[in-house]
Chains A and B, each alone.
Chain A
Amino acid sequence: MESNRPRYCLGLLIMFMVVFSLGIERTANDYILAIVSFTGINIILAVSLNVTNGFAGLFSLGHPAFMAIGGYTTALLTFSMEKKPLFLPDLPQWLIPVHLPFFPALLVGGCFAALVAQIVGISVLRLKGHYLAVATMGFLIIVQVLLNNANSITRGPLGLNGLEEFTNVSWVAGWVVVTIYTCWKIKFSSLGRSMLAVKEDSMAANSLGVDLFYTRNFALTVGAFFAGVAGGLWGHLITAVTPGSFSLIMSFNIIVMVVVGGTGSITGSVTAAIIFTLAIECFRPLEENFGIYGVGEIVISLVLILILIFKPSGMFGTGEPKFVTGKYKQLSPTNGK
């Protein structure tokens, strides 16, 4: 028998998010709001990468590429009609009248990223292990080069700026709940179980009838969808997108969150994303008052090394902690009879 605890937790999470986002938007200043929003976006990124890297064991470095695709798509769709001729004079004719409100644009951005992931998956998912990592890194570089050179649409290395500041804490909180809920449902469905099986032993999973390619491609696509949405939120939070932002460093940062939280653990990814985003900001007063810039990054790297040495499986391992799942009421041999 499954415990009801996850449902209570979801309810609590939604209630908390509503109260928290309403409360903080009334009281905090822009700086705090920005940090909270970035924390939320990092949660979306870490949890969605966890589907690809953690559940299905596909070591993908391409997450920022999907973010970039989603971010640019959303940005182009919501770009203000008055600014378009001024900022993007060489835009192809058919793109000029296209305009969508923020929410549909986010969905289109996510879906486009997912579509690209499908196409990329067909060729890339035949590879395994570090070959896959290198191939996804190659994909990230291809996306960056395309963005750098498709001047008429992306304005090259300068990127798109002057986007409306749509993203706020409520939007981010909403997407955080949707992401966590979806990924949780996937993890505890038969599909999620087959993902975990594929990760542990693909041959054994295959012989039990799990379609390896379908399972892997699904994991990559789901990850890409939420990365695309996160890209859209990200772009409309800092009101600019450039190819340089979606770099290998960013994919490293997201992977660190997944690894430290525990590959496969949603609770872990959420916790690690919160800790990492806030910790860097915590060191700011120290850096600024004593003039020792960069100390935050050093301390975080040290923590990462220590965690990898003393708890290589991450904070929560593959599972979810007991306080979220509750106790499984197992049918033990004695009371089962």
Chain B
Amino acid sequence: MKKCFITIGLFFMSLPLATPCFSAEPIKIGALYSLTGGMSSIDTPSLRGAELAVKIINKNGGLLDGRMIELISVDAKTDQKAAAIGAKKLLSNGVIAGIGHSDPSFVLPSAPLFQKKGIPFVTSGATLPTLPMMIGDCLFMVPFGDDDQSFAIADYSFKSLGVKNVAIWTDNSMDFTKTLSKFYKQRMTELGAKIVLEDFFMMGDKDFSAQIARLKNVSPQPDAVFISSIPNEAGLTTKQLRENGLTLPIVSGDGFDTELIVTVPGKELANDVYFSTHTYRADPRPEVIQFIADYEKEYGVPPENAFAPLGYDAIALIADAITRAGSATPKALKESLAKTMGFKAVTGEISYTRPSRVPVKGVSIISVKKGEYNVEEIWFPTTK
């Protein structure tokens, strides 16, 4: 025990000693990602993306006449308590901005602490559209809101796929999936489509035969099924629907943006699947190609999923705002972030023009036909 105290003590005492070593004071940015626990498969790529961005910026001479970025990473352990403690730790380290989290349940305990100190927090992956309203003017989102991705796929299924009757399956155990279904239903009803069946499952379910039986027996037969799920169930539902001889189009949101919808059912069965997601996969823009090349060079593997570029974008967004502000104080950074217009991020252009402060960002509609991913269209929200 005593040794632990000494270790902690020495660690904190050494902090002021380490500071004068740098000629220009580094710009400290805190990263809060769950590197252990259930969220680690999507949070770890985000951190690697963020670290890559920091490395590239520092290699090119840093920001504001040679000030380097120092990324301080704290593990949120897929735990709210650890997320709150981690945020406090970063704040006592004097960071000028925080990034992190791919789920609102972890943004909610940590971002308000940043808000209280007036330090901006940029979430790289949480898509809940009411987050900026709930937390305050220090919260910025890199991704689009869940409403946008649902509206995008609803518009596409109604207008391009001609869906008039639709069945909706929802993972009832998560806020993300419930929100997605809510907005999809809202838009489809507005457009004049009919919801013929609503069915539910839980995260971790392996067998969907009951839902499939109900889907087969519903009248009128739906033209498509909207499945609101996260990656694990995305592959399984696709596989089991197709194996049961149902060929109707499957539509979904960014939970389907995973290799699992091809690897689990196999190429033959992964057919007629459409989902809305971050403009990244199968996208030929130069930023995307450059990012993938850099990531492969740094880590030896291609980016694991869309959360890697989102983490990269979070740092790039902050760096851009610091450069425009010409200052690295939290207050200047916050004001400059809020004025972001048409910033070319890897996952699409970001502008904060809405009163809700959810970025106005393109949403990709991707089709999967016989295991091949194709971008069908890029959907843009009508700015409100």
Contacts and interface: CB of A to CB of B under 8 A. Distances in A.
Interface string B57-101: 000000000000000111100011101110011011000000000
Interface residues of A, number: 39
Contacts of A286: 7
Contact of B105 (A87, A158, A281): A158
A152 interface: no
A285 B74 CA distance: 9
Contacts of B212: none
A285 B109 contact: no
Given A158-B128, A278-B4, A284-B74, A30 B104 contact: no
Contacts of A288: 72-75
B88 A34 contact: yes
A177 B295 CA distance: 54
Contact of B92 (A29, A162, A297): A29
B122 to A, nearest CB: 18
Interface in B95-118: 104-105, 108-109, 112-113
Given A38-B85, A242-B80, A288-B74, A87 B134 contact: yes
Contacts of A279: 4
A244 B8 contact: no
A238 B84 contact: yes
Contact residue range for chain B? 35 or more
Contacts of A294: 35-36, 75
Interface in A60-89: 86-87
A156 interface: yes
B85 A159 contact: no
B80 A240 contact: yes
- By CB atoms of chain B within 10 A, which of A32, A34, A294 has the most? A34
A303 B85 CA distance: 24
B238 to A, nearest CB: 24
B174 A157 contact: yes
A157 B4 contact: no
A282 B4 contact: yes
A157 B105 contact: yes
A245 interface: yes
A305 interface: no
A44 to B, nearest CB: 14
Contact of B104 (A158, A234, A293): A158
B299 interface: no
A238 B113 CA distance: 9
B89 A31 contact: yes
Interface in A127-173: 148-149, 156-159, 161-162
A239 interface: yes
A134 to B, nearest CB: 19
Given A158-B175, A282-B7, A297-B36, A238 B134 contact: no
A282 B83 CA distance: 16
Contacts, number: 96
Contacts of A162: 112, 134
Nearest to B1: A275
A90 interface: no
A34 B105 contact: no
A35 interface: yes
A331 to B, nearest CB: 39
A239 B178 CA distance: 23
Identify the interface centre among B75, B108, B112, B128: most chain A CB within 10 Å of its CB. B108
Contact of A293 (B36, B79, B89, B134): B36
A148 B112 contact: no
B173 interface: yes
A244 B105 contact: yes
Nearest to B79: A245
A287 interface: yes
B11 interface: yes
Sorted from nearest, which 4 A-B pairs have the closest CB atoms?
A282-B4, A238-B84, A161-B108, A29-B92
Interface of B: 1, 4-5, 7-8, 11, 35-36, 72-75, 79-81, 83-85, 88-89, 91-92, 104-105, 108-109, 112-113, 128, 133-134, 172-175, 178
16 contacts: A30-B88, A32-B92, A33-B88, A34-B84, A38-B85, A148-B173, A157-B105, A158-B108, A238-B84, A239-B109, A239-B112, A240-B112, A245-B80, A284-B75, A285-B7, A285-B11
Interface of A: 29-35, 38, 86-87, 148-149, 156-159, 161-162, 234, 237-240, 242, 244-245, 275, 278-279, 281-282, 284-288, 293-294, 297
